[in-house]
Amino acid sequence: MQQSGTDPGSAVRPQTTIVVPCRNEALNILPLIAEIVTAMAGQGPFEIIVVDDGSNDGMAARLEAARGQWPMLRVLRHDRPGGQSAAIHSGVLAARADLICTLDGDGQNPPAELPRLIAGLRAPGVALIGLVAGQRVGRKDTLARRLASRFANGLRARVLRDGTRDTGCGLKGFRRDAYLALPYFDHMHRYLPALFARDGWQIAHVDVAHRPRGAGQSHYSNLQRGLVGIVDLMAVAWLLHRRKKVRATEISPITGPIPERQP
C-alpha cells in the first residue's frame, strides 16, 4: 500500500498532522503507528508526531528505530512528564499542517476513525467548524472508570453547557490556528468543545468506536482525575464568563465598514 506521508525534510507540506501524546506506551506505540499509516492512506500528505511525555520504559528507543520505517514519523520528547495537555500543545506547536487530529497512545482510540474527523473539517460549507470531537460508544473501560466518567461529563455539561457528552475521548480534529489561540492550561484537552465555542467556533460531534487497552495500565486514577477536574471546571466556567463579548469594525473611507475577521 502506498504511503502518502511526508518526510520532515520534504518540501511537500502535509495536509494533516496526527498528534499522539503518550507516556510509557512502549508495547502499544508501534502497532498504533502502523494502524495510523494504514488509516491515512488516501487522505493526502500527512505527518505523525508522537510526543513522548517523559517515558522511562524504553519507548524512546523503539520510536527512534521506527523512523527509518516510517519517514512521516516525527518524535518530540519532554524531559519530564508534563501531562496530556502539555504533550498535545507541544505537538500542535511543531505541526506543519493546518488540520490536526489527536488520539491517545494507549491504542484504545481506533485510528480507522481518523478519516471521519478529517471529513468533518474538510466538508463544503463548514468554514466555521473549528473542532470535530469524537464521542465514544461501547466503551471498553472498567465499570468504575465508566461511572466516574459519566458523573464528570454530566457535571461538566450542566455547568458549561458545551453540548458534548464525552470530552474525555482522545479522538479529535481541529484547526491548528484556532487551537493555538486558546488559553493554555494543564488538562485543557478535556474542555476543548467549551473553549472552541468560547472563541466563536462551531463544534461537530462524531460517534467513534472504543477498544480495550492493548498493554500496560492507565497513568491516572479516578481520584486524581476528580480532584483536578473540580478546579479545572471552575476555571473554565470563569473563562467562559469573562470571554470577549464585542467585535470591532474597521471603518474604511472607501468601502465603508469592514467586519472584523471571523475565526
pLDDT tens digits, residue range 77-105?
999 999 999 999 999 999 999 999 999 99
- Ramachandran region, residue 147 (left: φ > 0; alpha: ψ -120 to 50; beta: rest): alpha
The per-residue DSSP string of 147-158 comes to: HHHHHHHHHHHH
Global pTM value? 0.82
**pLDDT of 50-82, one tens digit each?**
999 999 999 999 999 999 999 999 999 999 999
Given pLDDT bands bounded at 50, 70 and 90, which one contains residue 133? very high
Amino acid letter, residue 112: A
Q: Assess contact for 63 and 142: CB atoms under 8 A.
A: no
- The 3-state DSSP composition of the chain as helix, strand, coil percent (nearest 5) reads 35, 20, 45
What is the distance between the alpha carbons of residues 244 and 130, in angstroms, rounded to a whole number?
Answer: 18
Asked whether the beta carbons of 37 and 110 are under 8 A apart, the reply is: no
Q: Cα–Cα–Cα angle for 110, 112, 118, nearest 5°?
A: 110
Rounded Cα gap, residues 245 and 20, in angstroms: 34
* Residue 127 in grid coordinates: 468554514
CATH numbers and ranges of domains, the chain: 16-259 (3.90.550.10)
Q: Supply the DSSP symbol for 191.
A: G
Retrieve residue 188's grid coordinates: 485543557
